[in-house]
Structure 1
Amino acid sequence: MSADEGTAPTPPDVPLKGKSRQRILRGIQRISSSPSLPGVGRSRSISNPYSIRYGSISCVSLSTAGPSQASPRSATPQLSALNVTGASHPGSKTKVFMFEEENDDDVEEFPAIRKVNHGLSSTSPAVSSLPSELRGRTKPVEKKDFNFWEAMPHEIRIHIFSYFRPKELVRISRVSKTFYGFCFDGQLWTSIDASEFYQEIPAASLARIIAAAGPFVKDLNLRGCVQVEHYKRTEVIVKSCKNLMNATLEGCRNFQKHTLHNLLRSNEKLVHLNLTGLAAVTNTSCKIIAESCPQLESFNVSWCQKVEARGIKTIIDACTKLRDLRAGEVRGFDCAATAESIFKTNRLERLVLSGCSDLNDEALKIMMQGVDPEIDILTGHPVVPARRLRHLDLSRCIRLTSAGVKAIGHVVPDLEGLQLSGCKTLTDAALELILASTPRLTHLELEDLDEITNSLLSEHLAKAPCAGNLEHLSLSYCENIGDLGMLPVMQKCIGLKSADLDNTRISDLVLAEAASMVIKRSKPASAGEVRPKVTLRLAVYDCQNVTWTGIREILFRNAQVRPAVGQPGGITYPTESIGLKCFYGFQMTVDEHQKRVLRGDLVAAGRLERKWADYMQANEEAGAGGAGYRRRRRRARHAQALHADEEDGGIVGRRRARTLGSCSVM
């Protein structure tokens, strides 16, 4: 039977006839061809890569996995009976047959290569199965979940949380128990400055933070913290904090005495201790500090009413590393024993005794020169070791006179700051020796000294070795100081950064000289992008001789663009300016002018200065009597309107609520 009638193929040992061979080839072509290319006599495929003259090679995959239920007409006949050589790869169930076809009229000379679909649709792609030995080896890899946060090292997670502020940490702690543990980890709270956030978090959270971070806390600042005023919360702090190095309890008024003493006993590593204003501090507290805190370097006990100088003496004698002692308004500093301890130790670099009303000339002499010092015959100065003091504050020590303050001269060569404000009995003689022997002096406060004169400034301060280093000078309420004393100071003290000259007799000449001094010491810039900085601050309010003319000189110099020296056609821009605190009627204009200068808008600053000067000049002319009074008043109102528009931000014509005339009630 033939293959078209659905009969079984001829066994391989039976020879085939010529027509049967051609018929089988046509069947194979019909089965393997696409439906779009029917017929045996189709044209040769263009994509045929083979150039064999006598035949073409076709590879047919006869897998055992193919379907066996196909119809007889669609079943592929056996090719083993043909004169075709078959080759199979070892270890594979798939056989590849290679056969040649002779040149025949009924058969295409070069038949195209076609893929055989075993019982599948001709439009579906051919799928070949993997060998059995490879099927067990290619198992799909299961992707496991990776928890990035849990896999991160603990130190890195703590470092991430360290960027949050205390208020944010308290909020984040409510996310989960894990976050709660991180937020209250002691490593995040080695330094607690509750003065910055105590108003933003509840008292319970603050107590919990201190309790959790107690062993890690080294710097504790509870300045003004009202949450720890309850005695139970203070006990929590004392029990938790055992390794404090810096402690500030200023303003914690309800600290109990025994609680404070327990805190002092349990922190032997204290270096800086601030107990300002605590009512629980007594002489007994000073004794406990002397016994328990040998590493103490800075101690502030100002305004503690129950502490006396004899209690501080125990700390001075026991704490050999003490460098900074602040005991403002502490009683009993007329004690010679305390003064002698300060002299013998000679370790203090900062001594603050402001408001100590008991301090007298004798005690101050003992602090500086000791008891019965040896006097040099040639110079008349005591022969004593130089004091290490760098800052000395004796302001408001009302019992001090010129005789006692003279003892400071020639014994404190390293002095940088001296405050004698409020010692009203001091004269020029008290300061002459000090100015001549302190070349490093940078801060000098002589506020409210009625007896000093211009001679002290012009003959001693301006010629002193510290003139070039002086940065801050306070002469407020020194009513005898005027231009004769301040003009030489402005010329010689070229490093001055601030000067408080309110309630003195200086005039506009001092302001002009200050502006000239700033211009001389500044380095002008050739580019307009450089923003000026305030390098000198002057307080000249309540000075009767200072007028708007001097204020205008300052404003003009702050925004002045000058020609470049040695560069024809070049210009330079200011890099330094003066900040003024003046009469309240001028202050708004001065502030607006300074804003424009600091942001680099020198043109707008100059325009504001000119319009303000026109307004002030027209206002003065309107106040004069005689003919043309109405015209001058009209011109003054117009100048005032222009200045008001410019002061509003430089928008000409901007309207605002203002009164041109004076108020009849006021």
Structure 2
Amino acid sequence: MALPVAGVSIETTSPSIPTSVNTPSPASSPENISKDKRRQRLLCGIQHVSSSPSLSHIGRSRSSSAPYGSRTNLSCVSLAPTSSGSVTPGYFSSGHGSLSSTPGLEVPPMEGIEVPLAPRKTANVSSTALAPTTACLPADVTISRPKSRAKKCLYDFWSAMPDEVRVQVFSYLKPKELVRVSRVSREFHKFCFDGQLWTSFDASEFYSQIPAESLANIIASAGPFIKDLNLRGCLQIEHYKRAEILVTACRNLINASLEGCRNFERPTLHNLIRSNKKLTNLNLASMTAVTNSTCKIISQHCPQLETLNLSWCKHMDARGIKMIVLGCPKLKDLRAGEIKGFESIEVAKAIFKTNNLQHLVLSGCADLTDESLKTMIHGLQPEIDILTDKPIVPPRKLRHLDLSRCSQLTDRGVKALGNLVPELEGLQLNGCKELTDAALEPIIASTPRLTHLELEDLSELTNDLLSKHLAKAPCVTKLEHLSVSYCENLGDAGILPVIKNCVSLKSMDMDNTRAGDLVLTEAAAMVRSRATRTPARGNCPRVGLKLVVFDCNLITWTGIREVLSWNAEVRHASGGPPTYPTEVISLKCYFGWQQTVEQHTQRVLRGDFASAARLERKWADYMQAVEEAGAAGAGIRRRRRRAREAQLLHANEEGGAGGLGRRRARTMAASCTIM
């Protein structure tokens, strides 16, 4: 029942509403009467009405800031004025009132009313309405449930990507991987065989793992786009049908390598050369199909050729070289190892006339004579300077010259190189056994850019060539590689000045010479002086010098230990942090010692200097004990016992923690006893 209070009708609901109120009797005390009046002033005409049942199942939780502390809440407030404009008072029981924690309404006291009105009973009120959880909404407010969201379509990122980006993604795959990926779908197949991905085709890495038909199909598909082709060793191309596919497809080659493609048909090779007039680099080494007619076709159809390799082509001779040199004016690199006919003066005149060659490889050309070599450098009957007794000709542009195993060359022919090859950087004269110091002295004195010098198996060379000429030559600060192996007359007197002055040396081969321990000591000192040191503890050094000294009878284990000690040296400066080397020496020595040396080098290269120093110390103890055990005289049993103990310690150190490693190391140590 809505009770109007000052024009305001308020309906509330409560879980427990008193149905009867004790009416004060006339005999009641004045205190009881005043209490009843105060109750009437607080709440008059307020009655609880249950909330709408339709909102009881929405499940909306009550706000945490609601001011109502009990289970009842305010459901509806009506601001409509009453018809009579009077106020009907009423009151609640104070036991479980819904407004016990709510501020009361200011209602003026009503005189003459002492009996409170009974609350109105609401009909058709369900039991669930006594405990509402939400507030009643106006009837004009409609509740609409959200519609179910439609599933979003997945974004096809690959299809939306530009074709250029997709081709760039595939460009990171190798040819073997591209062939595998092409089997995923038709779209992938189209992109995998895009011409931009096959401008360079190198089959030398996987030719043995791919069937011949598949290789031919790849070349047929990508052939028009290939510019760099490497089929070195591909025996699958030997069949004439597959070779015809190669010739038909590849017409834009710039760099081509067919080295080792045996039984390649001669007409097929000629057609390939004719159809690729932009060839710049061509490698036909070891091909039986190459003849002098092939060289003629090259000279006629390859005007852009700069590099040509015809080494070990047995069915041609130097006459073909002559046609190529005269027909290809841009040729700079010519490799014709083991080609016959270089004794011809006409071929030598053609090479002299061009003067464009920078790299000339004639290794193994046994027909090359002193006269033909002089004609290549001086020309035929040049004008001679009266004062210097030297030919007046333009200097040659040669930067690398390989005359290894040209057995007919002597001092008379090799001397012609002196003062006419100022740009020479690499010279190989291995196996020219007739050469002496006189042939090399003018060359070393006039080549300030020389970095590689190979004089292997020149038994007539002496220490004076190294100590008086090479150690004082203009190229002494730039020399990086020196090979004097099997020069049996060379010893410490010649090698020591070279190692001391050639501070840029990176490798030196002096096996089967008379070099001794002083050479190794000087090499360690040279590297120590040029290499910087670092205080970084975890620094991993690099190999700065490679020495080959096996079969040198004068080198002992003490010289080897000097190199190992330098490699693992940690310097403790006073008042500063320890420093570590940044360059070490890689050593190749006797077979019995090589395993220990390699193990020591591996530890140094990974920065484990303490372990390397321990291995070097125990190996030195072992070698010293072995020497003592071999000495005659008193105490031989004691010395042999010490040798066995040192051998076990060294084997355990080198073999590691595993038992198998110990057994291998002990076997190696036993082999060292022989040395």
Residue identity in the other structure for 1:625? A
> Aligned match of 1:379 in 365, 370, 388?
388
Structure 2 counterpart of 1:10: none
Distance in 1 between the 2:331 and 2:538 partners? 49
Q: Which residue of 2 aligns with 1:576?
A: 583
2:337 match:
328
2:493 partner letter:
L
Quick one: distance in 1 between partners of 2:141 and 2:385?
114
Match of 2:453 in 1: 444
Judge conservation of contact 2:44–2:88 (CA < 8 Å) in 1.
no
Confirm or deny that 1:585 pairs with 2:592: yes
Name the residue aligned to 1:104. 88
Contact 1:40 1:107 in 2 (8 A): no
CA gap of 1:119–1:266, structure 2 versus 1, over 3 A, is farther
Task: Determine if the alignment matches structure 1 residue 527 to structure 2 residue 508.
Answer: no
Q: Distance in 1 between matches of 2:192 and 2:13?
A: 72
User: 1:639 pairs with 641, 646, 650, which one?
Assistant: 646
Equivalent pairs counted in the alignment come to 596
2:434–2:460 Cα contact (<8 Å) kept: yes
Report how far residue 403 of structure 1 moved: 0.1
Could you tell me which runs of 5 or more consecutive residues in structure 2 were left unpaired when the two chains were aligned: 21-42, 56-76, 93-103, 107-123
**Closer, same or farther: CA 314–35 of 1 in aligned 2, 3 Å:** farther
Unaligned runs of 5+ in 1: 5-18, 42-52, 68-95, 112-117
C-alpha separation in 2, matches of 1:333 and 1:449: 23
Distance 2:386 2:140 in 1: 116
- Return the offset for 1:388: 0.6
TM-score calculated relative to the size of structure 1: 0.81
More deviation in 210-219 or 404-413?
A: 210-219
Contact 2:8 2:78 in 1 (8 A): no
What is the SS of the residue equivalent to 1:174?
Answer: coil
The Cα offsets for residues 367-419 of structure 1, whole Å up to 9 and x where unpaired, read as: 11111111112211111111110000000111111100000000000000000
SS in 1 for 2:538: coil
Query: What code does the residue aligned with 2:600 have?
Result: H
Cross-structure match for 1:406: 415
Q: Distance in 2 between matches of 1:443 and 1:522?
A: 21
- 1:474 paired to 2:455: no
Please tell me whether the aligned partners of residues 162 and 188 of structure 1 are also in contact (alpha carbons under 8 angstroms). Answer: yes
Query: For residues 472-503 of structure 1, what are the alpha-carbon distances to aligned partners after superposition, in whole Å with 9 as ceiling and x for unaligned?
Result: 00111111111111011111111111011011
**Matched letter for residue 89 of structure 2:** D
Question: Equivalent residue of 2:444, what SS?
Answer: helix
Aligned to 2:614: 607
* 1:394-445 deviation per Cα after TM superposition (whole angstroms, max 9, x unaligned): 0011111110000000000000000000111011100000000000000000
Compared with structure 1, are the counterparts of its residues 229 and 652 closer, same or farther at alpha carbon in structure 2 (3 Å cutoff)? closer
Report whether the alignment pairs 1:558 with 2:567: yes
Read off the aligned partner of 1:463 and give its amino acid letter.
Answer: K
Output the amino acid matched with 2:467.
S
Cα distance in 2, alignment partners of residues 266 and 131 from structure 1: 87
Cα distance between partner residues in 1 of 2:344 and 2:287: 23
2:670 & 2:392 partners in 1: Cα distance? 70
Q: Aligned match of 1:193 in 191, 202, 205?
A: 202
Distance 2:548 2:416 in 1: 32
Residue 177 (structure 1) shift: 2.2
Choose 597-606 or 181-190, whichever is displaced more.
181-190
**What is the CA–CA distance in structure 1 between the aligned matches of 2:348 and 2:336, rounded to whole Å?**
13
SS of equivalent residue, structure 2 residue 545: strand
Alignment of 1:237-248 (within 5 A): 237-248=246-257
1:191-219 Cα distance to aligned partner (Å, 9 max, x none): 11111122233333222221111111111
Distance 1:608 1:128, change over 3 A: farther
Partner of 2:301: 292
Quote the sequence identity (%): 59
> 2:368 matched to 1:359?
yes
Q: Tell me the equivalent position of 2:628.
A: 621
Does structure 2 conserve the Cα–Cα contact (< 8 Å) formed by 1:231 and 1:254? Answer: no
Letter in 2 for 1:579: S
From 164, 177, 182, the counterpart of 1:168: 177
Q: Is the 8 A contact 1:167 1:200 kept in 2?
A: no
Q: 1:300 is matched by which residue type in structure 2?
A: N
Q: Which moved more, 1:227-236 or 1:411-420?
A: 227-236
SS at structure 2 position matched to 1:392: strand
Q: Is the 8 A contact 1:646 1:652 kept in 2?
A: no
Task: State the distance in 1 between where 2:137 and 2:244 align.
Answer: 81
Q: Secondary structure at the match of 1:259?
A: helix
The structure-2 alpha-carbon separation of the partners of 1:635 and 1:130, relative to structure 1 and needing over 3 Å to count, comes to farther
Structure 2 matches for 1:172-321, cutoff 5 A? 172-321=181-330
With the length of structure 2 as denominator, give the TM-score of the two structures: 0.80
CA contact (8 A) 1:55 1:100 kept: no
Q: Are the aligned partners of 1:642 and 1:652 in contact in 2 as well (CA < 8 Å)?
A: no
How many angstroms apart in 2 are the aligned matches of 1:544 and 1:334?
A: 41
1:355-377, Cα deviation, whole Å (9 max, x unpaired)? 11111111111111111111112
Does the 8 Å contact 1:645/1:653 carry over to 2? no
Listed one character per residue, the Cα deviations across residues 518-538 of structure 1 (whole Å, up to 9, x for unaligned) are 111111222322222111101
Deviations for 1:197-245, whole angstroms, at most 9, x for unmatched residues?
2223333322222111111111111111222222222111111111111
In structure 2, relative to structure 1, the CA distance for the partners of 1:21 and 1:662 (3 Å cut) is closer
SS at match of 1:656: helix
Amino acid at match of 2:345: A
Matched AA of 1:583: Y
Flag the 1:140–1:279 CA change in 2: closer, same or farther, 3 A: same
Rounded Cα–Cα distance in structure 2 between residues aligned with 1:262 and 1:128: 96
Cα distance in structure 2, aligned partners of 1:665 and 1:656: 18
Q: d(CA) in 2 for partners of 1:663 and 1:515?
A: 24
Return the offset for 1:167: 2.6
Instruction: Quickly say closer, same or farther: Cα 1:140–1:577, change in 2 above 3 A.
Output: closer
Deviations 1:264-285 (A, max 9, x none): 1111111110000000111111
Q: Report if the CA contact (8 A) 1:604-1:650 is conserved.
A: no
Cα displacement (A) at 1:314: 1.5
- Which residue in 1 is equivalent to 2:510? 501
Q: Identify if the C-alpha distance between structure 1 residues 210 and 661 changes in structure 2 by more than 3 Å, giving closer, same or farther.
A: closer
Q: Secondary structure at the match of 1:596?
A: helix
What is the one-letter code of the residue matched to 1:99? A
Q: Report how far residue 25 of structure 1 moved.
A: 9.9
- Larger CA deviation: 642-651 vs 613-622: 642-651
Q: Residues 160 and 661 from structure 1, CA distance in 2 versus in 1: closer, same or farther, beyond 3 angstroms? A: closer
**Structure 1 residues 129 and 603, CA, compared in 2 at 3 Å: closer, same or farther?**
farther
Question: Structure 2 vs 1, CA of residues 664 and 523 (structure 1 numbering), >3 Å: closer, same or farther?
Answer: closer
Equivalent position SS for 1:642: helix
User: For residue 441 of structure 2, what is the aligned residue in structure 1?
Assistant: 432
Structure 1 distance, partners of 2:660, 2:316, is 65
> Deviation digits for residues 12-55 of structure 1, max 9, x if unmatched?
xxxxxxx9989x999x94xxx667476899xxxxxxxxxxx999
Check the 8 A contact 2:593/2:672 in 1, yes or no.
Answer: no
Question: Equivalent residue of 1:383, what SS?
Answer: coil
- Name the amino acid aligned to 1:275: L
| Alpha-carbon distance change, 654 to 361 in structure 1, aligned in 2, over 3 angstroms | closer
User: Is the contact made by 2:357 and 2:397 (CA closer than 8 Å) also made in structure 1?
Assistant: yes
Alpha-carbon distance in 2 for matches of 1:304, 1:649? 52
Counterpart amino acid of residue 634 in structure 2: A
Distance in 1 (alpha carbons) for counterparts of 2:213 and 2:138: 73
